[in-house]
Amino acid sequence: MQALEALESNVRTYSRSFPAIFSRARGSIMLTEDGRKVIDFLSGAGALNYGHNNHEIKAAIVDYLASDAVIHGLDMATPAKLEFMETFSSVILRERGLQYRFQFTGPTGASAVEAALNLSRKVTGRQNVISFTRGYHGMSLGAIAASGNRFYRTGSGTSLSGATFMPYDGYFGPAVDTADYVRNILMDENSGVDWPAAILVETVQGEGGINVADRQWLRSIHSIAKSVGALFVVDDIQMGCGRTGDFFSFEFAALSPDIVVLSKSLSGFGLPLSILLIKEEVDVWRPGEHTGTFRGNNLALVSANAAIDIYWRDRVFAEGVQRMGGLVRRRLEAIASEHGNSFAVRGRGLALGFDCQVTEIAESTTRKAFEKGLIIERCGPNDQVVKFLPALTIDLETLNHGLEIFEESLAETVKSSGAPVACPQRKDTDEPMTA
């Protein structure tokens, strides 16, 4: 670890929260170099929905590698790419009554968000984008401009423009319907907010604190986008690919976004792969107008194809995710009630947040959890929410073991803090809260 400090930039993050050297991993277990077995409830921040080194998916890429098939071909046509698009279209899209074209973007989520915003601006001839408080869309300039986090915004070192923030569902508490507010502002010729090229939204804010948008709220935002001639763009980078219990996180609200952004678990194996799903009528790109060296890496397309083929041909997998999500949720609610309900539980599917209300409680709980063998991270404006993102393929025994570790770590934290749990919530500060 000393070598790490000397060699790697100060910017490193997760190696600080989880101080160990991880050598191998399989499913939901990671092994450290010194022989510890650790349960993973972080899952590459949602990039490993099918677990580490999923052997069925791995078999497909091992075969592909062994055959000297094309790995990198810019965006030339390959059997791997055609097969991926065909499988995705028939298994995922057609089954859901959706029709999209594929745009292969650069490999990171941010590059795909950036492409979605550029395309929206090109389609509408407008510049402004509506995004939401506590939203997170990545680290490129256009994506940060649309992200709420002040720490990251400041980190960009330049002025960020082109986005207007609106309050997300629930931002002012349950009594205020923020969709009404958005509608009023955008319909008012004198509100001072320019008509947007796009409304960019997460159905559950992953980094922002597992904030869950209600079905009706999402439908309202979609219809507002339509009425002001803006594209409705869902950033499904973290909540897509099964995380909420359906392939797309917006299925429960029966939405058909103009653009869907997918990345993180799309490759099924932790390989970088990002795409936009775009409606045919918004596909106004001229050939080559948006480009990139690593678009649609073939190895990642092979694993993505395998993941869809293995898990999404019927409803069994999705139903399992919903069942496990219910189980985790009830367990977390029981834990919250043991502590006099000073904590809140939120989420959908297997994306769950345990809001400790107080940064220090969440921090100490996740630190103790790691000492006891559980990797789990925090999110939310003050990093006060413990975020449960187990692999969707996790077995019940490992899942329960992880939950036990969390429960113990929280109990020890609350006991040793001695303070009444219901402390006032900490104010936003400019200070980085993630150690």
Ligand X SMILES: *Cc1c(COP(=O)(O)O)cnc(C)c1O
Contact residues: ligand X, CB under 6 A: 45, 108-110, 113, 136-139, 202, 206-207, 235, 237-238, 263-264
User: Is residue 4 within 8 Å of 15, Cβ to Cβ?
Assistant: yes
Joined tokens for residue 51: 């677990």
Q: Which is nearer to ligand X, 111 or 364 (CB)?
A: 111
* 3-class DSSP state of 2: helix
Looking only at the bridges linking them, the beta strands covering 231-235 and 259-262 are parallel
CA distance linking residue 387 with residue 377, whole number of Å: 6
Least distance to ligand X, CB of residue 417, Å: 31
Least distance to ligand X, CB of residue 139, Å: 6
User: Is residue 22 within 8 Å of 32, Cβ to Cβ?
Assistant: yes
Q: Which is nearer to ligand X, 205 or 365 (CB)?
A: 205
Q: Which is nearer to ligand X, 147 or 364 (CB)?
A: 147
* Residue nearest to ligand X according to CB distances in the complex: 109
Backbone angles phi, psi at 135, to 5 degrees: -70, 155
Least distance to ligand X, CB of residue 265, Å: 10
Q: Which is nearer to ligand X, 111 or 409 (CB)?
A: 111
Q: Which segments of 136-191 does DSSP mark as H helices, in order? A: 141-145, 150-155, 178-187
CA distance linking residue 288 with residue 286, whole number of Å: 6
Beta bridge partners of 262: 275
Residue where the block lists tokens 């950033």: 235
Q: Which is nearer to ligand X, 261 or 403 (CB)?
A: 261
* 3-class DSSP state of 314: coil
Q: Which is nearer to ligand X, 204 or 403 (CB)?
A: 204
Least distance to ligand X, CB of residue 43, Å: 12
* 3-class DSSP state of 25: strand
Least distance to ligand X, CB of residue 337, Å: 30
Q: Which is nearer to ligand X, 142 or 409 (CB)?
A: 142
Least distance to ligand X, CB of residue 48, Å: 13
Where are any strands of DSSP class E within 22-172?
A: 22-26, 29-32, 37-40, 101-104, 129-132, 163-166
